[in-house]
Structure 1
Amino acid sequence: MKKHFLLFTCIQASAAILFLLFGLAFLKTVSLNEMHTVQNLAGAVLQASPETEAVFMEALKSPRTAHTAAGAELLARYGYEEDFLARIPFYRRSLLVSLSIFFICFIFSICSGLHYFYSVQKARKAQEELLAVLLERCLSDDYGFLENSQESAFPGPGDLSDTFRKLAQKMRLKSEILEEEKDHTKALVTDISHQLKTPLAALKTCFSIYLEADNAQEKKEFEKRCRFQLEKLENLIASLIHISQLESAMILLRPEPSSLQNILVEAVNAAYEKAAAKQIAIEAEDFPDLVLSLDKKWTREALFNILDNAVKYSPPGTSIQIRAQELYSFVRVEIEDQGIGIPKAEYNHIFKRFYRGQNETVQNSEGSGVGLYLSRKILEQQGGTVSVRAAKKQGSVFVVQLPLEAAKNS
């Protein structure tokens, strides 16, 4: 559209300049012819009567209308009236050419304007049709045209093209996010169904056997098993609720100045009962306490999940070491166990939701695969990280890194 406008402007300007040049040439010719006529008259009179030179000079200096009437009367006797120029062929041809050029320029300008108007309307219609097609493709989640860098693939001038490209990219991004959320929801429902299926089936079996038991001892045994399955189901549901709340931002972490030592002590106390039952010692090396900006409750939950995992997969009579070290921009907390260890290929998988290792011991142990995932989510939402590596001798070392912002020695 800009090209059409520039072309139309250039044509109009060229026509105007051409007509102006011809008009100036015509006026110059008329002026020269008039000058030649005056010069011819003056020369003829002076040759016949040289004494009339003073009269000519006086007439040139006097006002133009002083002798007009007398001159007009004299010339009229010989046919030189006001319309005498129209009877001269040269002037008639010049006037005809001037009018022809003016008419041609006028017609050309009208045609150019109509052509420009038609081109604009045609281009606008084409843009609207193309825009409608591309919008329809966007609504159909077909964004393949974004890969085409040709400007012709987009309607309108550069600014409109850029705006449409940005809009289409935003729509594609939102579509991809919605698709990811849809897949995430499907996966979550599938995982929850799978996780609930096992304890519900076990609970159903125990309850059926309880109803069919013949004596009180059998009823008591299966009542105990039902209670265990109920507790397991309750813990699983609580973990699923925590996951749902974290992922939907229903749980808002509220950082506040918190003692790192107090958080670790509370996490150890929560895991102490299970550790004592397996005669596993939880030992912490001395370190200067730090006050960090953390959500105390959920950070304790994250560390407890890591300790609980270490207790679960460590043999009886072993120990768990806790170390803390202040570095340049973060605090590193290491939890080292003497358990079964984790294959290197699973390092990036054990922190995924519902993931359980391939080790036979893990498969035969009670668990839902949500503890370490919860720990990762809680720590990451506070700017921290969690990772794992193999211990030097036996077991695994979980490395928790917490940001040192607003930290100070207590």
Structure 2
Amino acid sequence: MVWDISWRRRMKFRTSLRYRITFAFALIGGTVSFALATALYWLTINMEERLIEETLSAELEDFIGRYRQDPSLIPPSSTLMQIRVMNGHERDAVPAVLRNLDTGLHQVDLEDRSYYAEVRLSGEQHFVALYDDSQIRHRESQYQVFLVIAVIVMILLSAALGFWLAGRVLSPVSELGRRVRRLEPEGDPRELGRDFPPDEVGFLASEFDAYQKRLRAFIEREQNFTADVSHELRTPLAVIEGAAEVLQEDTGLDEAQRTRIKRIARAAREMGEVTAALLELARERRQEQVSGDCDVAALLGEIIDSHQHLLERSEVSVELEILSRPHLPIQCALLRIVLANLIRNAFSYTREGRVHITLNKTGISVMDTGEGISPDEIDEVFKPFYSAQGGEGIGLSLVWRICQNYGWKVQIDSKVDQGTCFHLDLGIR
């Protein structure tokens, strides 16, 4: 659970435009402040070395002038600075690190301490002014810590400023998103552009207004189309069903002719049911469903009987196991389509063996010993116009859409050359 929360936070940080702007501000602030701190540190150290060099040079000039007037003058020596005089015969007594120095400013380590050394040559005499830089190094360390803290503070201030500015800049976009989320495709269009200033957000709102108008026109055309289809298709289907009923009552027909007429009547009835399902699923939201009482067991028996003709030329046995007799408070038309497609699929793809259908208190299982479905195709069976035999079937796609509409769940388990099992969970608890 902790991992899931942290993962969501990371994903929010990656996807949120506000956080990305904040990160960009922090990155810019950190880069600029680091560059300034580096330049400032370099300039400070360089200026410090120049000041030390000028100070030591002035001290040496003063001492050399007084030393020429009085060679017995004792070189000054203090905690921070001292001057050493190296005559030709005394050079061997001076540390080697000082004997080999050229004129100018140097940094040397002497007696476990670090010094700035300014060297001057006057005749055969070398004058060296030493300045203990331990305090300077200590101040430089403090200065470095100060610069690091300044960079961190600058990054935090840049991030805070970026977060605040991003909130101010993106607030119109967030408000536009909230208003768009409250829009209903079939509701009255709401003008969004007039509530926003004439900038990029206002342009986006105006585009949403234009899209609403096109969407509303599309919905009106779809509603008119479904109304026309409802009338134009149901009427001829009813005529076909009525004519088939009249023909079935004709005593002059033989058994083969009666069988064909029954198939015509059955096909017309199934076509009417599919038309009703497609008309209902064509809308984004279902209309309030008419209450009913659907006996699932009785409906299942009717569907099996009406599809027995698919097994006339195959050696397949059908087993119906009823463990419970649930009733659903719905009309049976759409459930009939779901069950009919599952059973028709099992009957059509089973050449020998058996089809076992189980009804329990939670749902229905349809298991066959047919051809099976390969693992590569098992995720495709519920997509529109997919058929294992290369046709353009919509049966299982229609099953999937009806199940989504009613909150049912359909699962499939299949192995090639072993069979397929569909399980329909009707959500009965």
Bigger relative CO (Cα 8 Å, ≥ 6 apart): 1
Higher helix residue share: 1
Q: TM-score, normalised by structure 1?
A: 0.38
Q: TM-score, normalised by structure 2?
A: 0.37
Higher strand residue share: 2
Which structure has the bigger radius of gyration? 1
